[in-house]
Structure 1
């Protein structure tokens, strides 16, 4: 489940199709609560097994921690220091898989580590490994330790590897490749991981795969965002099996009942709060907050030379700087989180980010005005008591609670997911789904290990193939840039979008050349848009790149008003809501226009 937006709009006209599907058939074998990547991945996996599965999310899909990640698909080289070898092994295997099955969103990422010493940290590393604590002042990891770690990393990647092995450079060669790096470096190590530039759209692709499996008759799979859990009760004696959950439509305020035999709690950092609502409080979670900033800084972008700069800051925290299209992403912090407070990037965190950039690129001038977007999320980490946040395990586990058949905790078996990270979502979903299948006395029919995700199916694999695809899908009023933008946003599912665009007259918006009227109508009909902010933050990258203007707010709201049934008051409320969300959670001030 995602963070709560700071305001609600008025109810849209008519019943949402996604909610209506749940109301018409108010029972499922499995109900998943939480629409981040792990819940959505589990939804897809179960749908492909032919399970009658439903998913509800109180906010928008990928609105919480899943949308606030560092946008990396990686093996977790730093987890080696924690002794999490199983997780690293699984992560590199899944990284390589996602490069193959989701090539439209997951791309290889060349990564460079600037190194300032040779043997520093050799004595401190064993203590960190054994105690999971920083002993005294941070000891910088030198070339010896980094070489050892990268060699182990290559070893874990050796089977089915799709990325090159690491390389070491001396100071002279390193500065020749990245001349803006700090001149005091002694070495630079380069290796490859991967990035996901559109985590929200990848989550949506995974969700739609599950829905399409249901539509094709493999299962009855239905999902809805903006649908919150209110309470749970035992279904016995009420004409139901398992448990009955009371759900509230967050857009209309309407309440209705839904029953399930098995409940899967994938609400991330809110797992304990969700279990409390289900009458069985738990103490599994101990999430930490991570923040990021996005900069419009051509000089810093050029200095990165297409690479992620991944390094240890002076406080021992592993941080990163890397290009995201025409912007630069900088992150991340790792501090204990208070779920009673909004997860937002603070002024102190911004100061920290500006300082760390100067640590690596000392001659690049930075200004807060170059920050176009900030975001924060709470990592769904296990409770860690005295363990320092940076050493908390990033692995996951699954907790099972048997339903009693009476009382407030209901009759359904409940599986709670503790932990989980972006890179391993497919494997995690398979693991969690297998547990559910075992509970239902069923066996797996399909593996997702080699199954392309959404618009990754048939995605052109070379630059030349991409150009041929673009040329083949251009049309009157749709030039190469616009066609390339559609391929970037949807992968090969862009063919479905283009077919919709071409069935009626269309025009680009006046406020941006990246969207058209018909494309917004397509999103409204097919992508469960609940708020204007969904378009700006999660269906496109316009907010992330600092491209939201008052004109854009008004124009997008105008177009959405038709298919979503917004009257003048609702349209105005949506604009105000988007402004508040952007300001409160992302540090973006957008002044609306009078219209």
Structure 2
């Protein structure tokens, strides 16, 4: 890792999908870029979405055809460039007599949606009658049903893995990635922002880093980046909170993603197959507090459960069926005079001149269009540097896990004696890089042993995360590299063993190992089910498995 004092062309603040995409594009085009993140890769809003890669069907209602076209184009690119992580799937949109959007309007919308994705390789939409809808989705409430439309979008089950691979690609192109690096204040020189001062949150060390352009890509934290040293700036973030519930498969559960209009208030609600369970979302509430404090509340949970029970009468879901919840704050522009669902979803680059020339804030953006946002931002950086921009090539560069032969990797891994469960997991999370994960066991065969029987996760994944994927804490590893936090047991039962394995390789003494386990369990409280009595952490974990 380069020293922070090295002069750079560009400083990127924030390691969500957009900041990572910018760092990668900048490095690929020859800029010296450093990315600073106060917590970890994908520790913010990128992890708390519905994990869909979509064209933005609802944006058609705003006549934002350019955004829909951009989203559909980028969706198709992700299918090609990260096929191990981003996969096509079918969505069904029921049409009811109570629907505020008439059937003819939905059909026209689907024709436009398909027309705007003219270069797609996936299946177009189809219109189903009431009988056809019931055959495809037997659990749906038949009363008032008028039929449905079925169409294709995409899913990234493991958004954390997508972000991690973009980070690996960025570093491979020459970018410097610094996590646990909290920006404190701007460095001013000649009336311009010439860099930033940041604190390493693990060591307490303070560093200065210099660059003529600083991009604030902190998502819903964009208004909270500088703790001191900067004049007051206009409010830019108007993010809304979206909460999701996670439940086990239930009676009447759909095979497709269901995207439907609430009978109660007309909002769009989704039921999404995810990691062998179901993700139910989402809400859309104004949220002005620290985005890190966003949690699902009782009213949101009751609203979402009621919606599913209305749509699927057999479900009979109650709070006791909720395994865990999560909430995030969308990085939307500040627009206080419009309804939440009407806030524009397009990204903008806000120049802070004349108060803070040299600082640019990226407002908005979404998971699907991160690559295009990065291209736009890096083009702008070159203009600010007064340099001719090389052509952006990220639209044709596979992510690292898509660069090799997945089937060849499967054959090799099975030949090493790994179980089919473990091999399937490794390929799903790492793609062809699964070979690199298992290679950690070449000099230490114990690392090939299964760590988490439920998923087939092996010990080598722990070591790989810290050696090659920028993880610095146990929470980084279990929550955002191995995804064990999102299993019904949250990986809690192997937390001590994982800390011991990492401790032996990272120099953590017993006190540090215990601290890492405690911090992980504290992090898990953000997944709590609202209103559920929790006398102790163990009681909480027991309840989440019921």
TM-score calculated relative to the size of structure 1: 0.85
Unpaired segments ≥5 residues, structure 2 = 540-546
Describe the shift of the 1:188–1:354 C-alpha distance in structure 2 as closer, same or farther (beyond 3 A): same
Supply the distance in 1 between the matched residues of 2:153 and 2:136 (Cα, whole angstroms).
Answer: 19
Superposition map of 1:403-482 within 5 A: 409=356, 413-442=358-387, 443-458=389-404, 460=406, 466=407, 469-482=409-422
Contact 1:72 1:196 in 2 (8 A): yes
Corresponding position of 2:542: none
SS at match of 1:482: helix
Residues 175-574 of structure 1 aligned to structure 2 (within 5 Å): 175-184=134-143, 185-214=145-174, 221-235=175-189, 243-274=194-225, 277=228, 279-280=230-231, 281-299=233-251, 303-305=253-255, 307-313=256-262, 314-340=264-290, 342-402=293-353, 409=356, 413-442=358-387, 443-458=389-404, 460=406, 466=407, 469-506=409-446, 507-509=448-450, 511-512=452-453, 514-574=456-516
Cα deviations by residue, 1:454-498 (Å, 9 ceiling, x for unpaired) = 2122454xxxxx4x6422322344122211211111011112222
TM-aligned CA distance change 1:165 to 1:53, over 3 Å: same
Is residue 187–residue 193 contact of structure 2 (8 Å, CA) maintained in 1? no
8 Å CA contact retained: 1:372, 1:545: no
Cα deviation for residue 503 of structure 1 reads 3.4
* Residue number among 139, 143, 147 corresponding to 2:107 in the alignment: 147
Equivalent residue number for residue 538 of structure 2: 591
Counterpart for residue 13 of structure 1: none
Asked if 1:577 is matched to 2:519, the reply is yes
User: CA, structure 1 residues 479+70, in 2 after alignment: closer, same or farther (shift >3 Å)?
Assistant: same
2:18 aligned with 1:28, yes or no? no
- 2:405 and 2:313 mapped to 1: Cα distance? 40
Q: Which residue in 1 is equivalent to 2:544?
A: none
Equivalent residues in 2 for 1:21-100, closer than 5 Å: 21-23=2-4, 25-100=5-80
State whether residues 13 and 215 of structure 2, in contact with CA within 8 Å, keep that contact through their aligned partners in structure 1. Answer: yes
**Bigger mean CA offset, 270-279 vs 496-505:** 270-279
In the alignment, which residue of structure 1 is the partner of 2:131? 172
Match for residue 129 of structure 1? none
Comparing both chains, which one has the higher relative contact order based on Cα–Cα distances under 8 Å and sequence gaps of 6 or more? Answer: 1
- Check 1:250–1:587 CA distance in 2 against 1; reply closer, same or farther (3 A cut): farther
CA contact 2:18–2:370 (8 Å) conserved in 1? yes
* Shift in Å, 1:242: 5.5
Q: Provide the rounded CA distance (Å) in 2 between the counterparts of 1:96 and 1:59.
A: 31
Match of 1:218 in 2: none
Q: 1:114 aligns to what SS in structure 2?
A: strand
Tell me the C-alpha RMSD between the 2 structures.
2.2
Partner Cα distance (1:93, 1:277) in 2: 41
How many residues align? The count is 528
Tell me the secondary structure at the aligned position of residue 323 of structure 1.
strand
Distance in 2 between the 1:373 and 1:528 partners?
27
Displacement of 1:370 after TM fit? 2.7
